[in-house]
Structure 1
Amino acid sequence: MKYTLISVPALGNKQNTFLNIKAKLTEYAETNNFPIPDFKIGTLDTLVLLSDDLVKYDTAFEQTVNKVADIVRTFTANAKVNHDQLLLVNEKSIDQYIRGFQWNTMKYRTDKSLQETTATLSQEVNAIDAIMKAKLNTYTQNKNALQTLQRKQTGNLSVKNLNGIVKKQHCVLNSEYLTTLIVAVPRSFYKQWNGKYETLTSMIVPRSSVKIAEDDEFGLFTVTLFQRVVDEFTHKAREERFIVRDFTYDEDALKLQQEELDQVSSVELEQQAELTRLAKINFGELFASWVHLKALRVFVESVLRYGLPPDFTSVTIAAQPKFEKKVDETLLAQYGRLGGVHGQAFKSSNSQQDEILDHDLQSVNDSSYRPYVQFDLHFDSERV
């Protein structure tokens, strides 16, 4: 979804100007009014500063919108539904919302200054961003914990949870002096293990090693030794690439392990559902804030470009596929006379008008510059 927002001088008749643009582009694009109320303007200096700030806010808003949309996409990837049906704004599709945009005067009063309205929008977006980050971090931590538990269920014998594999009869239990270690040995090292384990340290019970399990990469061996040499044996075994597993036999461990896995899995599903629900709700709020910020940019740049009092028509243009260049050429042909400095038509000794002209000229070196106010709003609802 790519929309172009433009404003041009209305010359006292906004409706006729809109109808003229619409007629010029009717073969190439869908054109709709983008009504922007009159705001309290303040001084030119504050307007120029606000123009620079709005560029930064625009980028930040877009990033936040996409981050929250990505959450919805990620957690609904397997749903047999188009994301356009999930990413709604005020219960409308994105397309419907933009084409029928109306300034929300209940939330953003027009008797407030432009700076106050911008601050309100930024605060709202930042608050939502903070909430979503916290929720996502909590979910990610639990997801990582679940993946760790699952790896212990499915990994090779060097990392896999051994409950259910090591049986009671494999271990020396309740001995004051002896203990049984469980060692994962690479399959290609069986000969070395059998030849070395009794001599890695003293106090090894001879011929105590038994292979109790095997997978594609490792064999699992027992070895019985005195408790006092466990640390030394573990260190020497590591040097030989034998992995002593951290394991203590517990009859209830397998049951507890499954209960923990079930609990963490259940929490993960609940958190995912809650995160998806919040993301869908907050996406609408964020996208609406972003479009309102775009409206502020159009208003501010139009005043700086065309002067006072505000007299311009703003529209949204959705070009048909492969007709973007034609739309651009048509607009340039119609409004190229503005020459990028419409203020020249009114140029006088008025110092404020000269300042407006100076601001406009600073933008001429921008490769995306047009002789009229233009901003793009690009959102890919299906991006990965």
Structure 2
Amino acid sequence: MKYTFISVPALGDKQNTFLNIKGKLTDYAQTYQFNIPEFKIGTLDALVVLSDDLVKYDTVFEQSVNKMADMLNNLLRGQQANLQDQLLVNDKPIAEYITTFQWNTMKYRTDKSLQETTGTLSQEVTAIDNIMKNKMNIYTQNKNALQTLQRKQTGNLSVRNLNGIVKKQHCVLNSEFLTTLIVAVPKALYKQWNNRYETLTDMVVPRSSNKIAEDEEFGLFTVTVFQRTIDEFCHKAREERFIPRDFTYDEDALQTQQRELAEVSATEREQQAELLRLTKTNFGEIFASWLHLKALRVFVESVLRYGLPPDFSSVTISPKPKFEKKVDEIMVAQYGSLGGVHGQSFKNDNQDEILDHDLQSTLCSIRT
């Protein structure tokens, strides 16, 4: 859905102006009053500068909202949850929050300057962005560590962790001269391995190779060699497309590995739950800040266009499907001749330009 915020001169009667717009659009759009309080205005020169700043902040806030929504979508992936149901603002669905918007006077006092309120909104969004970036980096690091451990558990025999596969009886232990190497051999090369392993280097114990495990791609073989020939044997084995595995038998290694996997997995789940909670909360905070910024934009642009004292009616318009163009045409027909404070009139040969500059849509649109 798309929402556009506009303002038009109220001529002393905001309610009647709103009802007039609502009546003209009743078949083509939903219309709602966009309630904006009166602010401390300051000088017009300051408003012109602030108007430019608000455009820039609007873009930044929108990017932050989208990043938060993407983050939430990624965290929910694989869960039985609908993203739209999770995107809440003040415990309301987005559409309800937009169409029932009320300025938060407790948080953003209207007796403060527009510049100060804008600065407060920007600081809040920046702080949330930084917090979520740090939280996401920590979570990503831990998730990558977990995936690395899981790959070692589930990969083929050329890469997976061998603890629990290689048993004590497969290895020569506590020998001053001999050691057992573990080699992953592609299935197509079994015959080549059996014919060649004894002669790859000197000091290989004859008939010492045994297949101890097998998967769809590889067989896992032991071979006993003298320790002084380990490097040479491994080099020769790689030339033959055999894969020596870096492995040292440790009785406690399997338990250590399982404990590490359980701890990292538990940490990842805890971090994901915390990040999910923070993302939901902070999405609502940033979206609320964005809508308050929209209200500031409409107010500032309206004062600059229509002058003082502020006398305009601000409206939220949500066109029905396929009627966006029709809504624009109706609004241009009704208000396209507005010429601002000095009553200039504009020609209707470029309706888009009129709509943007005279109708005060101020590009304040939101898609949900």
Superposition TM-score, scaled by structure 2 size: 0.91
Deviation of the 1:308 alpha carbon: 3.1
Residue 111 (structure 1) aligns with: 111
Q: Provide, for residues 200-221 of structure 1, a one-character-per-residue CA deviation record: whole Å limited to 9, x for no partner.
A: 3333223322221111111111
Residue 278 (structure 2) aligns with: 278
Alpha-carbon distance change, 201 to 51 in structure 1, aligned in 2, over 3 angstroms: farther
Q: Distance in 1 between matches of 2:126 and 2:208?
A: 63
Deviation of the 1:36 alpha carbon: 1.4
Equivalences for residues 166-177 of structure 1 within 5 A: 166-177=166-177
Find the residue that maps to 1:41 and give its secondary structure: coil
Find the residue that maps to 1:270 and give its secondary structure: helix
User: Are 1:195 and 2:195 counterparts?
Assistant: yes
Residue 129 (structure 2) aligns with: 129
Alpha-carbon distance change, 148 to 367 in structure 1, aligned in 2, over 3 angstroms: farther
Q: Distance in 2 between matches of 1:282 and 1:88?
A: 10
In structure 1, list runs of 5 or more residues that go unmatched. 348-356, 358-363
Alpha-carbon distance change, 141 to 81 in structure 1, aligned in 2, over 3 angstroms: closer
Deviation of the 1:323 alpha carbon: 1.8
Residue 182 (structure 1) aligns with: 182
User: Are 1:342 and 2:340 counterparts?
Assistant: yes
User: Are 1:311 and 2:298 counterparts?
Assistant: no
Residue 377 (structure 1) aligns with: 365
In structure 1, give the amino acid aligned to 2:176.
E
Equivalences for residues 83-98 of structure 1 within 5 A: 83-98=83-98
In structure 2, list runs of 5 or more residues that go unmatched. none
Q: Distance in 2 between matches of 1:228 and 1:239?
A: 19
Alpha-carbon distance change, 367 to 266 in structure 1, aligned in 2, over 3 angstroms: farther
Any conservation in 2 of the 1:8–1:312 contact (CA below 8 Å)? yes
Alpha-carbon distance change, 122 to 45 in structure 1, aligned in 2, over 3 angstroms: same
Deviation of the 1:316 alpha carbon: 0.5
Q: Distance in 2 between matches of 1:77 and 1:200?
A: 50
Deviation of the 1:346 alpha carbon: 6.6
Q: Distance in 2 between matches of 1:238 and 1:369?
A: 69
User: Are 1:42 and 2:39 counterparts?
Assistant: no
Q: Distance in 1 between matches of 2:233 and 2:53?
A: 65
Find the residue that maps to 1:221 and give its secondary structure: strand
Any conservation in 1 of the 2:332–2:355 contact (CA below 8 Å)? no
Deviation of the 1:295 alpha carbon: 0.9
Q: Distance in 2 between matches of 1:130 and 1:329?
A: 43
For the aligned residue pairs, the C-alpha RMSD in angstroms reads 2.4
Residue 350 (structure 1) aligns with: none
In structure 2, give the amino acid aligned to 1:225.
V
Equivalences for residues 99-248 of structure 1 within 5 A: 99-248=99-248
Find the residue that maps to 1:181 and give its secondary structure: strand
Any conservation in 1 of the 2:51–2:301 contact (CA below 8 Å)? yes
User: Which shows bigger deviation, 182-191 or 284-293?
Assistant: 182-191
In structure 2, give the amino acid aligned to 1:97.
Y
Residue 352 (structure 1) aligns with: none
Across the two proteins, how many residue pairs are aligned to each other? 364
Any conservation in 2 of the 1:2–1:376 contact (CA below 8 Å)? no
Find the residue that maps to 1:337 and give its secondary structure: coil
Deviation of the 1:331 alpha carbon: 0.7
